[in-house]
Amino acid sequence: MQRWRDRVAVVTGASSGIGAAISLELVKHGLRVAGLARRVDKVQELADSLAGSPGKLHPIKCDISKEEDILHAFSEVKEKLGGVDILVNNAGVVHETLLSDGSTDDWFNMFHVNVLGLSICTREALKSMRERSNGGGHVVHINSIAGHYDVSAPGFHMYSATKHAVTALTEGLRKELVSQHSNIRVTSISPGLVDTELLRHGSNKTLNPEEIYTRIPCLKPSDIADAVLYVLGTPPHVQVQSSSVIILCDKWEKFAIETFCFCSVHRD
């Protein structure tokens, strides 16, 4: 992580959970972090708690479902921090909604945040990375195991569809960057169940998040932050294409899978 010291990272959904944990670790490793979130006061609280750390957290108010907010946020990052070296697309929403009679508003919200917002942030970050003198960078998508497997729980197939889209977008971007002989890397990290506010803030009709988190072994936000540090810490010639982070437990051994795909970064 030493080579990223004093570089600039943008983390979306930085107000709580995984985004807050990632922001905290990056600041501790000496990065300047732009924490994007609607609840910017929460990001400011985290920034205040990190005073005196090697790096610094800069709160920026941004609703990832709105393109104008994203464009303004990246403009602010360029003006105040000089540009982007790392993007962590963490912001996401989940709503329990059936395909047969679900809410169109819930469907739109999930696609606007999980897919379109992620894509707009990626596009703007890539523009900035290409302008930087080092010519490199790293895009990290916080995906989900729901983006790789069929979800058995009714009401979560639309959410799963958004995460399958992230899987496809990761591979598509990787191929684009390879064809352009770019030094920018892209990684998808797919956690299993993580104890965060994601389910608690979604539209839940039959699901009780507290009961789920009590009954099923789950990951902590810091576990995902550790995975981000790992992929960022690999040498420049190595790309971690995808990673699944899942609880290891005898009771849940069928989910005890961790996959890393490595490929060299193409250069002239």
What is the set of active-site residues?
Answer: 159
d(CA 61, CA 148) in angstroms, rounded, equals 31
User: What are φ and ψ of residue 191, in 5° steps?
Assistant: -75, 155
Q: Are strands 260-264 and 238-245 parallel, antiparallel or unpaired?
A: antiparallel
Cβ 32 vs Cβ 55: under 8 Å: yes
Helix (H) or strand (E) holding 87, with range, is strand 86-89
d(CA 186, CA 87) in angstroms, rounded, equals 9
Other beta carbons within 10 Å of 169:
20
Other beta carbons within 10 Å of 264:
9
Cβ 91 vs Cβ 16: under 8 Å: no
Q: Which tokens in the block code for residue 235?
A: 């040498």
Q: Which tokens in the block code for residue 185?
A: 């890397």
244 DSSP β-pair partners? 190
Collapsed DSSP state (helix, strand, coil) of residue 64? coil
